[in-house]
Amino acid sequence: MDLSRLEPCGPFAWQLPVQGAMRVPGIIYGDAGLLASMDDKVASQLANVAALPGIVQAVYAMPDAHWGYGFPIGGVAAFDAEQGGVVSAGGVGFDVSCGVRLLHTGLLRKEVARRAACLADALLAAVPAGLGRGGALRLDEAEMDAMLAGGAVWAIARGYGWPEDAWRIEEQGCMAGADPAQVSAQAKRRQYDEMGTLGSGNHYLEVQEVAEIYDAACAQAFGLREGAVVVSMHCGSRGLGHQIGTEFLRRMVIDADQYGIVLPDRELACAPILSETGQAYLAAMRAAINCALANRQIITHLTREVFARLFPEARLDILYDVSHNTCKEELHEVAGRPKPLFVHRKGATRAFGPGHAELPDALAEIGQPVLVGGSMGAASYVLVGCSSAEAMSFSSSCHGAGRAMSRTAASKKWQGRAVVAELAQGGILIRSPSMRGVAEEAPGAYKDVHAVVEAAEHIGLSRRVARLMPMICIKG
């Protein structure tokens, strides 16, 4: 990125000043090295988002930001409905409510390592992964609507989990305001056999070791200790979310003139929050959030079944589940007063600090876990939200390392089988139905996740709690 377009406004903060049609400034978080690795389109996309009606305070890019569809990945923007604020399907993304869930096992590395290959094979057999891959569960029309309305709570009620699971899931496992009637028949058809599946791209199911603790008190509260084994999953709303995004982007482009919206980029198609189109999208998007929560809940159940066969002593409790492709109505302080805002987080994670009213009692004094995913051979991190993030990013933080090169470029640089062999030499077992997919997701295709989380901590968005290293990765 050309840093001459930006003005330093802190040790790890850079401002894109208001210019042209921008209504608010853009703020990019990260050190000079991280910004240098970002493409120039990040700043251009921030400028476009900053021109949308009803935007509040500033538009933000997290330290892992990179170019995306309309919004940059790692982009955060909040809109005031009372001031003509908009909701943008491009500001949420196609994989609605893509997110990360982390499970304890109660096992140590040495216990799992003895049966690692067997565990890897069993997980690949139990959890369908790959493009278009369906699962054993089939939903009829009534159950589809019940799932879209009920989320993980629906899945738990049907035997795919434990009642206490819901308290460690964002929105307590069910997103309010979902309306299955706003989800098209085509979107539902795409999802009828995809519940409990990972999908492709950067989605995964990983068995990981807690390799390093940074904050002992917080780690203890989260139940983490060095040498312990955890399970992490990264996936979303699959074909249903993609179809919702596709359909509403098209509808928002057509309706823009009706609502008097001048789009700086067609990919930023949006509608006023209080309009018919805006309300319809929010209702459908919330149903897709429930789809993703139910999907991760079913994968949790399938994973528990595998561990129960191989490690009967294991108990896979949920540490937390948080999404990073959403638009949510939240109370945030604006000009010294609490204000309901619609916060878009695209490739960014909610990061509520200690004492936030929406946190469950067990986390209220500590803060929200922020789960930052890695890529096969790279570390993942558990962070915790900081109160300072409220004023700096509407309580948002990074979600991963962020891509350093496109999937096409990565597939030309690496061969999937060579990546698998290299990682195996380092003690990491990869299982995937697609060697091309492995090449596209090679660790070298991503930025340095250590630099990203260090920047997030220095800025005050979130604080490091633990570093996790992969042992087994089931890759979509």
User: Where do runs of H (alpha helix) occur along 106-264?
Assistant: 109-113, 116-126, 141-157, 185-191, 216-222, 238-255
Read off the amino acid at residue 405: M
Residue 157 has pLDDT above 80, yes or no: yes
Helices (H) and strands (E) in the chain, counts: 14, 19
| The Cα angle at residue 117 between residues 112 and 122, in degrees rounded to 5 | 95
- The answer to whether the beta carbons of residues 179 and 287 sit under 8 Å apart is yes
Read off the amino acid at residue 143: E
Q: Residue 434's pLDDT band (boundaries 50, 70, 90)?
A: confident
* DSSP codes joined into one string, 319-351: EEEEESEEEEEEEEEETTEEEEEEEEEES-EE-
Q: For residue 413, is it left (φ>0), alpha (ψ between -120 and 50) or beta?
A: alpha
**Residue whose structure tokens are 């994989």:** 95
> Which secondary structure element, helix H or strand E, spans residue 77, and what is its range?
strand 73-79
Superfamily of domain 3-475: tRNA-splicing ligase RtcB (3.90.1860.10)
Residue 134: what pLDDT? 75
Residue 285: what pLDDT? 98
pLDDT tens, 83-130?
A: 999 999 999 999 999 999 999 999 999 999 999 999 999 999 999 887
Residue 96: what pLDDT? 97
- The answer to whether the beta carbons of residues 329 and 51 sit under 8 Å apart is no
Residue 444 has pLDDT above 90, yes or no: no
d(CA 210, CA 464): 13
d(CA 245, CA 66): 20
Residue 197 has pLDDT above 80, yes or no: yes
Biggest CA–CA distance in the chain, Å, is 63
Residue 220: what pLDDT? 97
Active site (annotated) includes residue 324: no
pLDDT tens, 158-188?
A: 999 999 999 999 999 999 999 999 999 999 9
Residue 133 has pLDDT above 80, yes or no: no
Residue 405 has pLDDT above 90, yes or no: no
- The answer to whether the beta carbons of residues 88 and 52 sit under 8 Å apart is yes
Residue 256 phi/psi, 5° resolution? -55, -45
Query: What three-state secondary structure class fits 192?
Result: coil
> Which secondary structure element, helix H or strand E, spans residue 16, and what is its range?
strand 13-16
* Rounded percentage of the chain residues whose pLDDT exceeds 70: 100
Q: Which residues partner with 344 through β-bridges? A: 77, 327
Residue 250: what pLDDT? 96
Who's near 111: CB < 8 A, 6+ residues apart?
Answer: 229, 311
Residue 351 has pLDDT above 80, yes or no: yes
Higher pLDDT, 206 or 437: 206
Q: How deeply is 448 buried, as exposed, middle or buried, from its count of CB atoms within 10 A (0-12, 13-18, 19+)?
A: middle
Residue 290 has pLDDT above 80, yes or no: yes
Residue 136: what pLDDT? 81
Instruction: Select, from the ranges 191-195, 264-268, 367-371, the one with the highest average predicted confidence (pLDDT).
Output: 367-371
d(CA 364, CA 308): 31
User: Any idea where the domains of the chain sit in the sequence?
Assistant: 3-475
Q: Rounded to two decimals, what is the model's pTM?
A: 0.96
What does the pLDDT average to over 213-221?
Answer: 97
Residue 404: what pLDDT? 77
Residue 132 has pLDDT above 90, yes or no: no
**How many of the other CB atoms lie within 10 Å of CB of 311?**
18
Q: Residue 52's pLDDT band (boundaries 50, 70, 90)?
A: very high
Catalytic residue chosen out of the listed positions 301, 399, 450, 458: 399
Residue 377 has pLDDT above 90, yes or no: no
Residue 447 has pLDDT above 90, yes or no: no
d(CA 359, CA 366): 10
Mean pLDDT over each residue of the chain, to the nearest integer: 95
Query: Per the structure block, which two tokens stand in for 283?
Result: 């209702």
Q: How deeply is 408 buried, as exposed, middle or buried, from its count of CB atoms within 10 A (0-12, 13-18, 19+)?
A: exposed
In the chain the first and final C-alpha atoms are separated, in Å, by: 31
What does the pLDDT average to over 142-165?
Answer: 97
Residue 446 has pLDDT above 80, yes or no: yes
d(CA 186, CA 29): 39
Residue 45: what pLDDT? 97
Residue 49: what pLDDT? 98
d(CA 303, CA 406): 31
What does the pLDDT average to over 129-134?
Answer: 77
Q: Residue 436's pLDDT band (boundaries 50, 70, 90)?
A: confident
Residue 146: what pLDDT? 98
